Amino acid sequence: MRPLNVLSVTSEIFPIIKTGGLADVAGALPSALAAEGVKVITLVPGYPAVLGTLESSNVVHRYPGLFGGTASLLSGRAGDLDLFVIDAPHLFDRPGSPYLAPDGRDWPDNAQRFAALARAAADIGQGLAPGFVPDVVHAHDWQAGLVPIYLSLAEGPRPATVMTIHNIAFQGVFPPYLLFELGLPASTFTIDGVEYYGQIGFLKAGLQHADRITTVSPTYAKEIQTREGGMGLDGLLRVRAIAVSGILNGVDDKVWDPSADTNLMQTYDRDNIDARIANKEGLQKRLGLSQDPDVMLFGAVSRLSEQKGLDLVLASLSRLLAGGAQLALLGSGERGLEESFRTASIVHPGQVGCFFGYDEGLAHLIQGGSDALLVPSRFEPCGLTQLCAMRYGSVPIVSRVGGLADTVIDANEMAVAAGAATGFQFGPVAVSPLTDAIDRAKALWRDRQAWRRLQDNGMSADVSWRRPAKQYADLYRSCLPT
Ligand code: ADP
Ligand code: GLC
């Protein structure tokens, strides 16, 4: 098969800069795709963290003016990632979050910043870097949403475009007066163009103009075509239904490998799951939980936001903790939720332990030391923590939505009897179904053999990028001219 060149366009990439699962996906896909004969170079903004890790870079192009300042397009490597980087200090030389100012609000020039990302992507798509002419440009989320429209406006040959939705809740909506500044002609401000309820919609524009649209699970691909799940874009997605598909995420099995994870007290694999007990002890110690191997330990690793449904865990807490069970939470986000969990840890000392902030090592220890992992999301495009949990022998308890519904096999009686179950699903997303699932999990946990089977099934499931990478490679090939 002919090797393919793909330009991946993303606003974050693991291990350099990450706020969520998008970074994990962008960081892991390139090497998984290499095995499918797809050469990926990723275009990212030149945040300080990116420029700081870039090795042996060279200048591909100089822009005399890119949205308000001079800029250079660099190419280089960072670890095993091949990158194009937009070195534009006036847009990206800022500390902290890629999206938010220190006061927690969006940077006021996010439209220009991510239009610059899309502009450079479209230029590379049209041959700006002669050593790498992409067959396909793969745009991730609203930050790369203008790529397909910039390319559709360009003269001459252009690559195919794929637009992936990682979370339709974030759409990149900006005021209409920016149209010309963004390099968009008046003719694009229509319902078939960038216009979105009187504003400019970056994601909307991407979905309108991309050759193919993907999202990160088959169930979410259906949900976003409904009024409830589409958050205003369902109509467009229904019109484009033939172009829409869902490809599940995987996890990077080198980053998430319990047999070689230096964040754990004790590494282990399927054949010595009992060794996890040292991680449970370590986790209890780290979060100030009572040192007791014989109580069930629930974990959660999550952004603290409405989406993730952790308020339902708070509402279920007395049932969850009944009988001495424990909760270990790692989260960051909304202040109110943080406060409520902090209070819970004071009210239930030794039973609720929290760490607020971002901590990669602790995320791994929770996966390696908890008995079950809670993911009670209101919606979840794919979700990665339930996949990590399976790989680490922590049994996921998930709401039956999006990618959670597609990746966890509920321990109903038949699935347990057939030896197929990998976790617990509940629905609808509300307190009492969650509490029922927690009770079911607690009951099965007491049956050590049955629980071991759940862990073993999860650990032997293939949650790697191998299958998804093949699906992406097939998709890329299918959208090329024959
Ligand atoms: P989302 O992208 O919606 O936040 P995902 O489940 O797709 O959800 O991905 C979340 C990723 O971020 C996972 O790799 C998870 O381990 C990680 N993560 C979430 N919260 C934290 C945190 N507070 N500290 C460290 N890692 C976190
Ligand atoms: C988004 C979604 C999450 C998904 C991740 C990576 O952040 O919320 O469900 O796993 O993107 O695709």
Q: Is 358 touching ligand 1 by the criterion CB < 6 Å? A: yes
Residue 150: predicted pLDDT: 98
Residue 206: predicted pLDDT: 98
Residue 481: predicted pLDDT: 84
CA of 288 to the centre of ligand 1 (A): 22
Nearest ligand atom owner, CA of 380: 2
Reply yes or no on whether the pLDDT at 56 is more than 90. no
Residue 136 to residue 7: CA distance in whole angstroms: 6
Q: Determine what percent of the chain is predicted with pLDDT higher than 90.
A: 97
Q: Is 402 touching ligand 1 by the criterion CB < 6 Å? A: no
Q: What angle do CA 90, 91, 93 make, to 5 degrees?
A: 75
Q: Is 24 touching ligand 1 by the criterion CB < 6 Å? A: yes
Q: Is 385 touching ligand 1 by the criterion CB < 6 Å? A: yes
- Tokens describing residue 310: 């952790």
Reply yes or no on whether the pLDDT at 343 is more than 70. yes
* Pair 477, 4: CB distance under 8 Å: yes
Residue 130: predicted pLDDT: 87
- pLDDT tens-digit map of 209-242: 999 999 999 999 999 999 999 999 999 999 999 9
Q: What's the fold here for domain 270-460?
A: Rossmann fold (3.40.50)
Residue 315: predicted pLDDT: 98
- pLDDT tens-digit map of 440-455: 999 999 999 999 999 9
Domain definitions of the chain by residue range? 4-250+466-479, 270-460
Kindly report whether the peptide bond that precedes residue 15 is cis, defined as omega within 30 degrees of 0: yes
Average pLDDT, the chain: 97
- pLDDT tens-digit map of 346-380: 999 999 999 999 999 999 999 999 999 999 999 99
Q: Is 468 touching ligand 2 by the criterion CB < 6 Å? A: no
Residues 295-308 have a mean pLDDT of: 98
Q: Is 216 touching ligand 2 by the criterion CB < 6 Å? A: yes
Residue 2: predicted pLDDT: 74
- pLDDT tens-digit map of 105-161: 999 999 999 999 999 999 999 999 989 999 999 999 999 999 999 999 999 899 999
Residue 311 to residue 188: CA distance in whole angstroms: 42
- pLDDT tens-digit map of 1-41: 678 999 999 999 999 999 999 999 999 999 999 999 999 99
- pLDDT tens-digit map of 250-293: 999 999 999 999 999 999 999 999 999 999 999 999 999 999 99
Residue 339 to residue 353: CA distance in whole angstroms: 13
Q: Determine what percent of the chain is predicted with pLDDT higher than 70.
A: 100
Reply yes or no on whether the pLDDT at 96 is more than 90. no
What architecture is the 4-250+466-479 domain classified under in CATH? Answer: 3-Layer(aba) Sandwich (3.40)
Residue 379: predicted pLDDT: 98
Residue 368: predicted pLDDT: 98
Residue 98 to residue 22: CA distance in whole angstroms: 13
Reply yes or no on whether the pLDDT at 482 is more than 80. no
Residue 131 to residue 5: CA distance in whole angstroms: 11
Which residue minimizes the CA distance to atom 20 of ligand 1? Answer: 302
Residue 1: predicted pLDDT: 67
* Pair 22, 141: CB distance under 8 Å: yes
